[in-house]
Amino acid sequence: MGSTQKYEFKVEMTCGGCSSAVERVLGRMEGIQDKKIDLEKQRVIVETTLPSDEVLAALKKTGKATEFIGTC
């Protein structure tokens, strides 16, 4: 496995249901050590050994507008 990275994503979340969807999608993925979801700032920080594009693809499955901001 690769080394652990922290990635920041902008996810268009407007309610608790949105953040729950993000939580569910990330919770099903192998290789994610930690995740922080900030509904107010519409940010998701993921600590993982996975590549950022793989996490981004999973986040996009929520149907929310999502973009990769960078590493933390």
23-35 confidence digits (pLDDT tens): 999 999 999 999 9
- CA 5, CA 20: separation in Å to the nearest integer? 23
What's the DSSP call for residue 4? -
Tokens describing residue 10: 């902008």
26-70 confidence digits (pLDDT tens): 999 999 999 999 999 999 999 999 999 999 999 999 999 999 999
Read off the pTM.
Answer: 0.94
The pair phi, psi for residue 11, each rounded to 5°, is: -130, 125
Q: What is the mean pLDDT of residues 4-13?
A: 97
Q: E-assigned strands of 1-72?
A: 5-11, 32-38, 43-48, 66-71
